[in-house]
């Protein structure tokens, strides 16, 4: 897939799929607010001001303030940084590793494939969050560990889907030609097979993004993700429970942010799948 076809796919999606287009613009909006958070947020997300604690939404604090008097709107914008950073890095990392394993299984076939499949079976025997929790349990919390913990359960799921496409690519004449010309294994895999499983690869990346964001929020919510005072949506919800009565806005806005993010990635992913691979619909 070269630049022009990627561009035309996107243009097609934006024109033909209104829901997917909404998702796309929401994603762009979230990426922009993550990138520009430092410039556009009205307050410092980390600055505590106990005189201002637990204010309801008002003219100065659109979404109110939390128990430490921090501005919730500013924290949401900075929380987008955490969500986008972790969402994109985990789904990219997990999908790239998964795609490599899937293509390798399809390319080598035989025993290599069989062993890979069995190992992936083992990894698929865990619900995603349990797998992530097991990794957190072993490695500890923190942003880097969180990325690893979310990326690992993505690997086998992507590997499965990519492998089935790669099996067909393996049979094509250009792979045969490349092999006949004496290309090395890594050259055939990286230069000839990987580019041709781009469609399922992209579909899987977007499909995993929404899930990665929910997972990130869940782990933060149960206190096994990034640490306070880092602004993260799940972490903001965690502290909201105790103030459900006196400050309901603390639990409403971060949750809305998560929902909008997941909604955007889901509808964009669905539309992308429809456009790239109508058979999978």
Examine residue 100 and tell whether it contacts another protein (CB under 8 A): no
Examine residue 255 and tell whether it contacts another protein (CB under 8 A): yes
Residue 129 CB, nearest distance to another protein (Å)?
5
Residue 127 CB, nearest distance to another protein (Å)?
3
Examine residue 223 and tell whether it contacts another protein (CB under 8 A): yes
Residues 102 to 131 in contact with another protein, rule: CB under 8 A: 118-119, 121-123, 125-130
**Distance in angstroms (rounded) separating the CA atoms of residues 181 and 193:** 15
**Distance in angstroms (rounded) separating the CA atoms of residues 79 and 73:** 10
Examine residue 138 and tell whether it contacts another protein (CB under 8 A): yes
Q: Nearest-CA neighbor of 266 among 9, 57, 23, 3?
A: 23
Whether 46 contacts 229, CB under 8 Å: yes
For 210-242, b/e burial (b = at least 16 CB within 10 A) is bbbbbbbbbbbbeebbbeeebbbbbbbbbbbee
Whether 55 contacts 80, CB under 8 Å: no
Examine residue 222 and tell whether it contacts another protein (CB under 8 A): yes
DSSP assignment of 209-225 equals: HHHHHHHHHHHHHTT-S
Minimum CB distance to another protein smaller for 133 or for 276:
133
Residue 273 CB, nearest distance to another protein (Å)?
13
Quick one: CA torsion of 261, 68, 36, 262, rounded to 10 degrees? 0
Examine residue 193 and tell whether it contacts another protein (CB under 8 A): no
Give the helix ranges, DSSP H, for 58-142.
72-108, 110-124, 128-139
Using CB under 8 A, pick the residue from 226, 262, 275, 276 that binds another protein: 262
Examine residue 42 and tell whether it contacts another protein (CB under 8 A): no
Examine residue 267 and tell whether it contacts another protein (CB under 8 A): yes
Residue 191 CB, nearest distance to another protein (Å)?
33
Examine residue 260 and tell whether it contacts another protein (CB under 8 A): yes
HEC per residue, 234-277:
HHHHHHHHHHCCCCCHHHHHHHHHHHHHHHHHHHHHHHHHHHHC
Residue 4 CB, nearest distance to another protein (Å)?
32
Residue 72 CB, nearest distance to another protein (Å)?
15
Minimum CB distance to another protein smaller for 6 or for 244:
244
Binding footprint of another protein on the chain (CB under 8 A): 118-119, 121-123, 125-130, 133-140, 210, 214, 217-218, 221-224, 237, 240-241, 244-245, 248, 251-252, 255, 258-260, 262-263, 266-267
């Amino acid at each position: 897939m070269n630049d022009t076809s990627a561009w035309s796919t996107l243009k097609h999606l934006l024109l033909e799929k209104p829901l997917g287009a909404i998702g796309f613009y929401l994603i762009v909006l979230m990426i922009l607010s993550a990138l520009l958070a430092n410039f556009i947020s009205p307050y410092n997300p980390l600055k505590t001001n106990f005189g201002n604690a637990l204010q309801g939404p008002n003219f100065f604090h659109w979404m109110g303030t939390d128990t430490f008097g921090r501005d919730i709107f500013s924290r949401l914008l900075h929380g987008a940084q955490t969500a986008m950073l972790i969402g994109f890095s985990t789904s990219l990392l997990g999908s790239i590793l998964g795609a490599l394993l899937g293509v390798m299984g399809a390319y080598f076939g035989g025993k290599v494939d069989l062993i890979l499949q069995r190992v992936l079976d083992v990894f698929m025997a865990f619900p995603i969050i349990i797998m992530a929790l097991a990794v957190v349990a072993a490695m500890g919390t923190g942003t880097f560990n969180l990325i690893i913990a979310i990326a690992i359960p993505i690997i086998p799921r992507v590997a499965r889907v990519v492998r089935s496409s790669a099996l067909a690519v393996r049979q094509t004449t250009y792979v045969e030609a490349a092999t006949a010309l004496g290309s090395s294994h890594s050259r055939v895999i990286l230069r000839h097979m990987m580019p041709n499983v781009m469609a399922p690869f992209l579909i899987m990346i977007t499909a995993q993004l929404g899930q990665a964001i929910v997972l990130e929020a869940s782990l933060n919510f149960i206190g096994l993700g990034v640490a306070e005072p880092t602004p993260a949506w799940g972490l903001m919800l965690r502290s909201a429970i105790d103030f459900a009565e006196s400050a309901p806005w603390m639990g409403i806005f971060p949750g809305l942010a998560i929902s909008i993010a997941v909604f955007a990635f889901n509808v964009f992913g669905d539309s992308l799948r429809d456009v790239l691979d109508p058979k999978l619909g």
